[in-house]
Amino acid sequence: MIVVTGAAGFIGSVIAQDLFRSGAKDLILVDRFTKQDKWKNIAGINFKEFVDRDLFLDKLEKGDLGTPDAVIHMGACANTTEFNMDYLMSQNYEYSKRLCSWCINKKVRFIYASSASIYGDGSKGFNDSNNLTLEMQPLNPYGFSKLVFDRWIINNGLTGSVAGMRFFNVFGPNEYHKGAMSSIIYRSFPMAKKEGVVRLFKSYKKDFPDGGQRRDFIYIKDVLSVTNFLLNNNVCGIFNVGTGHARSFNDLADSLLSALGCKKVLKEYFDMPEDIRNKYQYFTEANMDSLRNSGYRKEFMSLEDSISDYVQGYLLSNRNY
């Protein structure tokens, strides 16, 4: 039996669907349907039970759900523009801490979602070593809430007992419900398809041209591969989950328009909202040494191949994973 929290969300639903297709039995899915269409993400999964996220911990601790073989904890408030610190700490820290503590006590495999937002402006690099993690200074409350849980894991000596996945910019099917938090690929698709144009943020740093801001974009299918590796090999630690190669938003736009068969590449640049200008990551690039040294050998898909697969296999047909 495997528990997946955040199971109706983007990454959680793809993990749950993949587990189901791989023959996993007795799946317990945990989430809350805060968005009208999120149920579609898990409609094709034959799960044992669905549990509301606010009821889950009590049920688990009372023994009502039995003892799972593993808990894959993807549930969180993932809104990088959320400024209610009490809410973020409740959802991303206290909830995670309570669930992890139960798993440790019951000797249940615990795999959880961290975030590259903990790296802040990148001035301290993107190395996932424990010592450097303790020094990081995020740019927004969301990043802080994820960092505090990583620090709790490290300070309590749990990195040898659990596995954390520090996600960089993940994109792919099942993200349609995320609104402004969905990938620029998903948000740009309708205009790109209709008009052959992609709109990108202007740059406010002289070292980066408009659209030249660079991120480590990783496709959801690569995230699945890393998740399965951690689940099946009992590897522990907090690992960056990116490709190790930063690409510009201009590259992303070119790849999207190419996947749509557009003959001309047209990009427009617009003002970045003032409230995020000082909190914006202009560059991220995962140091992947830790994951590679743990035994993960599979190559990551290129940005071009990933976007082509997403567009051709899912967006054009309006298909979920």
Look at residue 145 in the predicted model and tell me its pLDDT: 96
Q: Are residues 154 and 110 in the same domain?
A: yes
Helix (H) or strand (E) holding 201: strand 197-201
The per-residue pLDDT for 264 is: 83
Considering the candidates 178, 193, 267, 279, report the single residue annotated as catalytic.
Answer: 178
**pLDDT tens for each residue of 105-120:** 999 999 999 999 999 9
181 and 167 fall within a common domain: no
Q: How many residues does the chain have?
A: 321
Query: What is the C-alpha separation between 162 and 167, in angstroms, rounded?
Result: 16
Q: Is residue 316 in a domain? A: no
pLDDT of 36 over the 80 cut: no
Look at residue 276 in the predicted model and tell me its pLDDT.
85
193 assigned to active site:
no
| Residue 256 belongs to a domain | yes
pTM given for the model: 0.95
202-224 residue pLDDT tens: 999 999 999 999 999 999 999 99
Q: How far apart are CA 40 and CA 16, in angstroms?
A: 13
Predicted local confidence at residue 266, as pLDDT = 92
Any domain includes 191 = yes
Distance CA 5, CA 72 (A): 6
pLDDT tier at 81, thresholds 50, 70, 90: confident
Does residue 222 lie within any of the structural domains?
yes
CATH of the domain at 96: 3.40.50.720
The mean of the pLDDT values for the chain is 95
* Closest-CA residue to 171 (of 104, 255, 231): 255
How does residue 82 score in pLDDT terms, banded at 50, 70 and 90? confident
Catalytic residue among 142, 219, 310, 321: 142
Range of the domain at 268: 176-213+247-278
Query: Does residue 34 register a pLDDT over 80?
Result: no
Please check whether residues 234 and 89 belong to one and the same domain. yes
The mean pLDDT value for 44-53 works out to 95
Note the pLDDT tens digit of each residue in 228-260. Answer: 999 999 899 999 999 999 999 999 999 999 999
Q: Answer yes or no: do 67 and 200 share one domain.
A: no
The reply to whether 64 and 115 lie within a common domain is yes
Q: Is the pLDDT of residue 265 over 90?
A: no
Q: Dump pLDDT digits (tens) for 267-304.
A: 999 999 998 888 889 999 999 999 999 999 999 999 99
Q: Do 272 and 241 belong together in one domain?
A: no
Residue 259 lies in a domain: yes
Are 164 and 181 within one domain?
Answer: no
How many distinct structural domains can be found in the chain?
Answer: 2
User: Catalytic annotation on 40?
Assistant: no
114 and 183, same domain (yes or no): no
Per-residue pLDDT band for 37 (boundaries 50, 70, 90) equals confident
292 shares a domain with 252: no
Identify whether residues 98 and 202 lie together within a single domain.
Answer: no
Would you state the pLDDT for residue 3? Answer: 98
> Does residue 195 form part of some domain?
yes
Give me the DSSP letters along 32-69: ---STTGGGGGTT---SEEEEHHHHHHHHHHTTT---S
User: Are the beta carbons of 215 and 247 closer than 8 angstroms?
Assistant: yes
Whether 194 and 234 map to the same domain: the answer is: no
User: Are 166 and 204 in the same domain?
Assistant: no
* pLDDT above 80: residue 78: yes
